[in-house]
């Protein structure tokens, strides 16, 4: 029997290694590993929405909504619990804030703050009844539609901004048990006019717990 050249042994080893390197990862795998449920392991909750699972605040965990097509769902901030932007340069803003009634300033004070942002005179309590209404969360709430120069804060930190002429603001402020809801949209008049139907659809989609549009 001819002698096997020993120096080839190392090359054989390397060759085997290279062949094994060609082996790829499995793309379809049967799951065989299991474990028994742990003692006192809680039963997983069923039916949680994505928003409820990944809520950054109480509003996101409580509410259901539909994000209109073309809107950007922005990260929440301290005072914008549902936060969106829209428009070609994201210059339009829409957000929902949920505050405990105590310390929120109340409905009229907040409405007048918004009116001031659009250089509009304040309303009296008696004027609230004359405002147009929308149905949100299954209840009739006063609705604001203002046009003018916007001087309110914008951006994630609500920083005061330069006066913005030819702006439009749509919004609703109302109290529900324990909470003051504010829903607001601002942006250039043409853009807001184009997105008004989307804002309306967003307001209609708002619900609590179950499917969108539920009442509170």
Partner 1 sequence: MSAETPTLSPPETPRHRAGLTDRILSIVGSYHIAVVVFLLMIVLTLVGTFSQKTIGLYESLRIYFVSWMVPREGWLFGFIPLPGMALVLAVMFVNLLAGGVLRIKKNWRTIGNVIAHLSMLGLIAAGAASLWYKQEGHMRIFEGESNNRVSAFQDWVLEVQEPAGAEKTVAVIRETAFRTDSPAETTTFHRKEWPFELKVSGYQRNATITTTGDPAVLTASDQVDGYTLRPLEPNAQHEANMAGLFLDVLDSTGKSIARTVLAQAIRQGEIVTRSDAPFSFKAGERNFTVALTRESWEVPFSIHLDDFIATYYPGTRKAKEYESNVTMTNAAGKDTKFRIWMNNPLRDSGFVAYQTSFDDQSPPGQEKYSVLTVVKNPSDQWPFYSLIMATIGLCITFLTKLSRFIRRTVATPTPAAA
For the CB of residue 116, give the shortest distance to partner 1 in the complex, in Å. 27
Q: How far is the CB of 26 from partner 1 (least distance, A)?
A: 7
CB of 55 to partner 1, least distance (A): 8
Q: Nearer Cβ to partner 1, position 72 or 133? A: 72
- Please identify, using beta-carbon distances, which residue of 77 and 151 lies nearer to partner 1: 77
**7 CB-near residues (< 8 Å, 6+ apart):** none
CB of 181 to partner 1, least distance (A): 20
Q: Name the DSSP class of 126.
A: G
Nearer to partner 1, 144 or 206 (CB): 206
* Greatest alpha-carbon span in the chain: 113
Task: Return all residues near 62 (Cβ < 8 A) that are at least 6 apart.
Answer: 98, 208, 209
Query: In 10 A of CB 183, how many CB atoms?
Result: 24
- What three-state secondary structure class fits 162? coil
Nearer to partner 1, 74 or 101 (CB): 74
CB 22 → partner 1: shortest distance, Å? Answer: 9
Containing 91, the helix (H) or strand (E) segment is none
End-to-end CA distance of the chain: 92
Q: Which of 13, 197 has the CB closer to partner 1? A: 13
**Long-range CB contacts (< 8 A, 24+ apart) of 208-211?**
208/62, 208/63, 208/64, 208/137, 209/62, 209/64, 210/64, 211/64
Q: Please, what is the minimum distance in Å from the beta carbon of residue 214 to partner 1?
A: 17
213, 204 in Cβ contact below 8 A?
Answer: yes
Nearer to partner 1, 1 or 126 (CB): 1
Chain positions contacting partner 1, by CB under 8 A: 1, 4, 6-7, 9-10, 13-14, 17-18, 20-21, 23, 25-39, 43-57, 67, 71-77, 83-85, 156
Collapsing DSSP to helix, strand or coil, 76 comes out as coil
């Amino acid at each position: 029997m001819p002698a096997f050249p020993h120096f080839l042994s190392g090359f054989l080893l390397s060759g085997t290694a290279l062949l094994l390197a060609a082996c790829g990862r499995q793309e379809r795998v049967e799951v065989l590993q299991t474990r028994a449920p742990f003692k006192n392991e809680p039963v997983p909750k069923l039916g949680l929405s994505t928003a409820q699972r990944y809520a950054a605040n109480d509003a996101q965990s409580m509410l259901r909504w539909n994000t209109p097509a073309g809107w950007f769902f922005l990260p929440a901030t301290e005072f914008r619990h549902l936060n969106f932007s829209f428009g070609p340069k994201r210059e339009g803003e829409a957000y929902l804030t949920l505050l405990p009634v105590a310390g929120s300033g109340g409905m009229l004070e907040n409405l007048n703050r918004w009116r001031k942002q659009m250089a509009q005179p304040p309303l009296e309590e008696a004027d609230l009844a004359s405002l147009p209404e929308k149905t949100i969360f299954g209840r009739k709430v006063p609705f604001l539609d203002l046009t003018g120069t916007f001087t309110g804060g914008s951006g994630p930190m609500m920083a005061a901004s330069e006066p913005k002429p030819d702006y439009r603001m749509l919004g609703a402020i109302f109290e529900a048990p324990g909470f003051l809801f504010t829903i607001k949209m601002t942006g250039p008049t043409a853009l807001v006019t184009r997105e008004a139907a989307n804002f309306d659809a967003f307001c209609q989609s708002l619900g609590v717990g179950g499917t969108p549009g539920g009442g509170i």
